[in-house]
């Protein structure tokens, strides 16, 4: 059964097509002028790339197209001027919405393509302590968003796989990258990036309408019975979202699991910046730690990793924070709720080989830290 016909996926698609997403504000500021943007892989032509690069492209070879939430079109480019004074790359990844059928099923998806463009145009240039894929051009219009970036595989990079656990040293290096992002945007306010509207919470809560259908379905990971209570988990999520501590507000990657990483000589870097939003830094930290480590390694070393993250924040100029601070500890524990998305993820959206280990890691972390009980015990927001 395909994603287009599976009732679980259809329900999820309908669930996230919500008014707040439909009205996502697109920043009208100084983005690059977007010529007519390609909508199919074959629309990525020498003429189009010549316009966005402002440099004559002689020919393009379409190597392959990799489908996904956003499609990636890989091309090899030959330039008219062999001297290539701007040192433009010859192997590129053109990322955007190149699957019209998918976009027709979930038209809101265009907004996250646009959001990634705005990240590369308005945020990435300021992240001087963070390693990022090189973006050569990014722009969007009302129906498309495209980022032209380096082909990382052609540069010899490997990519994170959610089915595989990482070593503790690699996770320590990963939280250093998150600290670089968070420290640069610490105490960020919505007015700093008016285009960065907050829709994450409502999207997850609406997806919870399909929670029972998925977690109680056949051949699912064996999670704790109390975590299969849709009503209780939904209530806890709502309370958690209302209780995020403003002490830790910053710009988030938003989807910081290992599947959204690439590795340079084994050192992790983050990619896929479509889910950025403003929230608690520990959303990224807990989500990443819960995804990356085996259950045993997380239990043994998670507080060492949290402390390393906090000391890296401090090195980048954030006020000293300590895991012994109850607010810090509670925010870290509560933020494992970010893993609910994997617990309720249908196999048509992520393959079973990835869903199984990820759901088990997050469910165990939620149970180890008694997260539902913790959130329920906290005072309601005023």
For residues 133 and 45, the answer to whether their CB atoms sit within 8 Å is no
Contacts of 176 (CB under 8 A, 6+ apart): 308, 309, 312
End-to-end CA distance of the chain: 47
Question: Could you tell me what percent of the chain has a pLDDT over 90?
Answer: 79
Query: Exposed, middle or buried, 342 (CB in 10 Å: 0-12/13-18/19+)?
Result: buried
**Which two three-digit tokens encode residue 95?**
């990322």
Which among 249, 127, 248, 241 is positioned nearest to 188, based on CA atoms?
Answer: 249
Q: Could you state, in order of their start, the residue ranges of all structural domains in the chain?
A: 41-152, 157-377
CATH number of 41-152: 3.30.200.20
Among the listed residues 341, 343, 330, 332, the one whose alpha carbon sits nearest the alpha carbon of residue 226:
343
- pLDDT per position as a tens digit, 296-323: 999 999 999 999 999 999 999 999 999 9
CA dist 108 and 22 (Å) reads 6
* Confidence class for position 352, pLDDT limits 50, 70, 90: very high
Mean pLDDT of 33-61: 90
Q: What is the pLDDT of residue 194?
A: 83
> For the stretch 74-104, what's the b/e string if a residue is b when 16 or more beta carbons lie within 10 angstroms of its beta carbon?
bbebebeeeeeeeebbebbbbbbbbbeebbe
Question: What's this model's pTM, rounded to 2 decimal places?
Answer: 0.90
Q: Which two tokens stand for residue 298?
A: 């997380």
The DSSP output letter for 122 is I
| Lowest-pLDDT choice from 1-15, 192-206, 347-361 | 1-15
pLDDT value, residue 51: 92
3.90.1200.10, 3.30.1490.20, 3.40.190.10, 3.30.230.10: CATH of 157-377:
3.90.1200.10
Q: What is the pLDDT of residues 81-133, one digit of tens each?
A: 766 666 888 999 999 999 999 899 888 899 999 999 999 999 999 999 999 99
pLDDT tens, position by position, 229-275: 999 999 999 999 999 999 999 999 999 999 999 999 999 999 999 99
- Rounded-to-integer distance, Cα 334 and Cα 35, Å: 44
């Amino acid at each position: 059964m395909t994603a287009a016909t599976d009732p679980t996926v259809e329900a999820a698609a309908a669930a996230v097509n919500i008014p707040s997403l439909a009205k996502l504000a697109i920043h009208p500021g100084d983005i690059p002028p977007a010529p007519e943007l390609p909508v199919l892989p074959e629309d990525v032509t020498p003429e189009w790339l010549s316009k966005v690069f402002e440099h004559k492209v002689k020919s393009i070879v379409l190597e392959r197209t990799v489908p996904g939430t956003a499609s990636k079109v890989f091309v090899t480019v030959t330039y008219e001027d062999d001297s290539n004074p701007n040192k433009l790359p010859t192997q590129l990844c053109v990322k955007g919405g190149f699957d019209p059928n998918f976009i027709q099923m979930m038209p809101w998806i265009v907004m996250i393509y646009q959001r990634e463009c705005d990240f590369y145009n308005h945020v990435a240039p300021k992240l001087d302590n963070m390693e990022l894929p090189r973006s050569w051009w990014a722009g969007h219009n009302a129906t498309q968003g495209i980022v032209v970036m380096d082909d990382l595989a052609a540069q010899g990079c490997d990519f994170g796989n959610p089915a595989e656990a990482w070593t503790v040293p690699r996770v320590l290096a990963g939280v250093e990258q998150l600290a670089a992002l968070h420290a640069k945007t610490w105490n960020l306010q919505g007015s700093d990036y008016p285009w960065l509207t907050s829709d994450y919470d409502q999207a997850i809560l609406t997806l919870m309408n399909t929670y029972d259908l998925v977690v109680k379905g056949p051949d699912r990971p064996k999670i704790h019975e109390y975590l299969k209570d849709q009503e209780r988990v939904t209530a806890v999520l709502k309370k958690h979202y209302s209780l995020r501590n403003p002490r830790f507000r910053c710009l988030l990657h938003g989807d910081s699991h290992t599947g959204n990483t690439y590795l340079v000589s084994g050192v992790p870097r983050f990619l896929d910046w479509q889910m950025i939003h403003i929230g608690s830094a520990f959303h990224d930290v807990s989500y990443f730690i819960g995804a990356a480590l085996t259950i045993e390694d997380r239990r043994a070393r998670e507080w060492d990793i949290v402390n390393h993250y906090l000391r890296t924040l401090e090195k980048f100029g954030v006020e000293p924070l300590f895991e012994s601070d109850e607010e810090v500890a509670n925010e870290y524990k509560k933020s494992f709720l970010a893993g609910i998305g994997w617990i309720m993820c249908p196999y048509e959206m992520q393959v079973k080989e990835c869903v199984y280990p990820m759901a088990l890691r997050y469910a165990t972390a939620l149970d180890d830290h008694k997260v539902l009980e913790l959130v329920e015990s906290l005072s309601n927001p005023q």
